[in-house]
Amino acid sequence: MRPIALAAAVALLGLTAAGPAQAYCRTMTSRVRAQEGECPMFGVALSWRNLCTGYSLYRANIPAGLTLPDMDRITASSTGAWGRVACDDNGREPQYYRIIPNGQTSNPTGYNPYGSNSNTVAFRPKWEDDALHRPGTIAITVVTFDSLTGEIFDADIELNSRATANPGGFVFASARAPEPDECDLQTILTHEFGHFLGLAHSNITRAVMYPTAGLGEIRSDLNSDDSAGICAIYPERATPPGRCLGLPYGGLATTPGGATVVGPNNVSCAVGRAPRGGAGALGLAAIALVTLARRRRRAPGVNRD
């Protein structure tokens, strides 16, 4: 068995300088940062290597005004947007990869190479307590992958929720018309599921994968650049053999104790040994969507990738 190193690397993704016909970028295994206006150029592009995976809604910390049925509906719509993209000229063959619901979980963000896991979607009522959770960030997607092959093993979405202990967080709206000081939850989740699938940022301002979102802005419909990006990763012609199980690696964890919590004590470096049949080195990337906080007078916010 080869030893593995579980390391943390924050991927501060640049914006591509390509033309509007292909402005998407893919997330890479390398920690080398792209220059502004360029896609990451080094390493191996990330992707899931099976037919599908599942996501689980974290039971705790649902903000006031939202319910788990709201979350079920909005999350399913956000994942469904990526699954409906047609990748052929006749518009009938969708990209093959699917993200399906696995129900609810109490298992926290993180990845356990020795046991069960969950790809969580969670509201985090505490922010800015480590390097991954930067001020002004609406949400992050934490992706665990094989740094040799680019295979994704786990992806967790965390939303920066306003709370007593987190006054700098955001209010998330489930309605189709958010207030000017609210984040449209479907817009944010659709963007984060793009990262979940292996996409980085685009420089097309109307693309779902554009790196900033305005308060009150709705931008949850994929445009041609988003579609081109997902088709590049999961074209129908490359569909792998097998069937869709929809379970995370190691099986589904619904209670605490499965995954290792990502936090200030273990984001910088944690070393372990590979389980039987384990892959090579693991990397951990955090991909953030930051706010371009448009107040009523359109004053810009802070912290751009």
Domain presence at residue 298: no
Q: How buried is 217 (Cβ within 10 angstroms: 0-12 exposed, 13-18 middle, 19+ buried)? A: middle
When comparing pLDDT for 25 and 256, which is higher? 25
Q: What was the pLDDT predicted at 290? A: 64
Domain presence at residue 303: no
Q: What was the pLDDT predicted at 3? A: 30
Please compute the mean of the pLDDT values over residues 26-55 and round it to a whole number.
Answer: 87
Domain presence at residue 84: yes
Q: What was the pLDDT predicted at 9? A: 29
- Model pLDDT for residues 122-136, shown as the tens digit of each residue: 999 999 988 889 999
Range of the domain at 101: 3-292
Domain presence at residue 305: no
Q: What was the pLDDT predicted at 92? A: 75
Domain presence at residue 55: yes
Q: Strands 137-146 and 152-160: what pairing?
A: antiparallel
23: CATH: 3.40.390.10
What percent of the chain shows pLDDT beyond 90? 62
Domain presence at residue 176: yes
Number of domains in the chain: 1
Provide the whole-model pTM.
0.82
Closest C-alpha among 249, 226, 190 to residue 54: 249
Domain presence at residue 107: yes
Pair 135, 283: CB distance under 8 Å: no
Mean pLDDT over all residues of the chain? 80
- Model pLDDT for residues 10-36, shown as the tens digit of each residue: 332 222 223 333 589 999 998 777 776
Q: What was the pLDDT predicted at 70? A: 93
Half-sphere exposure of 214 (CA within 13 A, CB side): 15
Domain presence at residue 300: no
Please compute the mean of the pLDDT values over residues 48-58 and round it to a whole number.
Answer: 96
- Model pLDDT for residues 70-125, shown as the tens digit of each residue: 999 999 999 999 999 998 877 678 889 999 999 999 998 999 999 999 999 999 99
2 pLDDT above the threshold of 90: no
